[in-house]
Amino acid sequence: MASEGINKFIKLWLCIIISLCYCYSIGRTKKTPKGIVRLLCLLPVMCLFLAIPLNISSIHFAGTTAFSISWLANFKLLLFAFGKGPLSSPSLSLPRFIAIACFPIKIQQHPSHLNVYQTPTNYAIKVLLFALLLSVYDYTHHIHPTILLVLYCFHVYFCLEIILVTVATLTRALLGLELEKQFNEPYLSTSLQDFWGKRWNLMATSVLRPTAYEPVRNTAARFIGRKRALLPAVFGTFVVSGIMHELIFYYLGRVWPTWEVMRFFLLHGVCVTAEIVLKNAFADKWPLPREVSTPLTVGFVMITGNWLFFPPLLRCGAKERALEEYGVLGAFIKNVTTLTFSSFQSH
């Protein structure tokens, strides 16, 4: 069953690559100028990308494909239709076009010699901590539910960062690209604005900015001025993010949404806009020291996440399915290691 799922996953990704080759050709012909004409040509591919995760049963494969393809790739293609975004550069080769479209990566505009991917020790430690976290789940019956919910927060963070960094590292090695990092130590956030805008899942932030934040701000600026338009733009970005997260959760559980995840992002949208107003009014007079602001920020994210974000995941059996897949992966690695060791001994 596992091999059948992997074969199906590979076929679906071949379909994605072929579709992106078509998109690349659309952008290189004068018969499909940017605008509505190009959007109509890309629309079938975007619909296909929305349907692909429905054909994947693995929670990890479905989640990563939903995030990378149904959300980020579709938003990048939407920008591409109007001659904007990372796919619109005329110098992009086909391999780079495909990589940027279907992977959660962003090319560094000003590469520096000191690069995040030159410090693998950081991620080795996180992989080790993640492995230790998985072993703790064997004793869940002896762990207080509140502690478990805290562990779920670390689980999501470690899992996301390990997957995204692995994809980015492979892409960098194969295509020679200098890439921006996907996370920036979110546990050091000093505010919700800092957490969502500069530290957590920066690939989603980089796509939401031109597709949600900027259009809402430009529209609102016509009526209330550009400075005040910041607030509806920030809140509108959280609305879009909430919708896309609800879609991803549907792919994972295949159950009708309860809109808890949407309420999580609406709550944070309200809090971030309120935070911006309060910062403008009082930050210079009463700035909070990092020793206070960081625990408050991280604590608020974890408490609201345990209240609204994790319950839908737990109800659809996400933890059990994930642990089952880790077990299959562990058995596979063990078998490969045993075979490799046996072959060395025979020689």
DSSP notation for 220-245 = HHHHH-TTTTHHHHHHHHHHHHHHHH
Higher pLDDT, 175 or 157: 157
Q: Where residue 140 falls among pLDDT bands split at 50, 70, 90? A: confident
Look at residue 113 in the predicted model and tell me its pLDDT: 46
- What's the pLDDT tens digit per position in 186-199? 999 999 999 999 99
Least confident of 163-172, 191-200, 299-308: 163-172
Mark 249-263 as b/e (b = at least 16 C-beta within 10 Å).
Answer: bbbbbeeeeeebbbe
Q: What is the pTM of this model?
A: 0.90
Quick check: 277 pLDDT over 50?
Answer: yes
Q: Judge contact between 52 and 28, C-beta under 8 A.
A: no
Look at residue 282 in the predicted model and tell me its pLDDT: 79
Those residues with Cβ within 8 angstroms of residue 193's Cβ, 6 or more apart along the chain or in another chain: 272, 275, 276, 279
Task: Write the DSSP assignment of 117-146 as a string of letters.
Answer: GG-HHHHHHHHHHHHHHHHHGGGGGGS-HH
Look at residue 117 in the predicted model and tell me its pLDDT: 47
Look at residue 112 in the predicted model and tell me its pLDDT: 54
Look at residue 70 in the predicted model and tell me its pLDDT: 97
Distance CA 2, CA 60 (A): 13
Quick check: 235 pLDDT over 60?
Answer: yes
Query: Average pLDDT of 171-183?
Result: 83
Count of Cβ atoms closer than 10 Å to residue 95 Cβ: 12
Query: Average pLDDT of 238-262?
Result: 95
Q: Judge contact between 248 and 71, C-beta under 8 A.
A: yes
CA 94 to chain centre: 23
- For the chain, the domains span 1-107, 120-328
Distance CA 271, CA 278 (A): 10
Distance CA 145, CA 132 (A): 18
Look at residue 334 in the predicted model and tell me its pLDDT: 66
- What's the pLDDT tens digit per position in 99-129? 999 999 888 776 554 444 446 677 788 889 8
